[in-house]
Amino acid sequence: MVFWIVLGVVVVLAFAVLGVLVHGVLGAAGRLSRELAEAEAEVAPVRAGVQDSADRAARLRDARASAG
């Protein structure tokens, strides 16, 4: 009889620990996705500037190659 009570308590505690772990992991995943979205928004103007520079460099290279 005592064995079943102890087993029940252990199972309930195990589920409680698993619940806490799942809650923590899901919370961390949500925070990570928000931080990644914010970082992407911050980097977007820089990425656009770099792409413009690369396009301009390619146009200049092509113009020099066709002129020379």
**Whole-number Cα distances in Å, 17 to 4, 22, 26:** 20, 9, 14
CA angle, 15 then 2 then 21, to 5°: 10
Cα three-residue angle 37-40-43, rounded to 5 degrees: 155
Q: What angle do CA 24, 40, 47 make, to 5 degrees?
A: 160
Residue 68 has pLDDT above 80, yes or no: no
Look up the pTM and report it. 0.58
Q: Once rounded to an integer, what is the mean pLDDT over residues 20-24?
A: 97
Which pLDDT band, with edges at 50, 70 and 90, does 64 fall under? very high
Mean pLDDT computed over 11-16: 98
Joined tokens for residue 52: 């413009």
pLDDT of residue 67: 83
- Report the pLDDT averaged over residues 35-61: 95
pLDDT at 19 over 90: yes
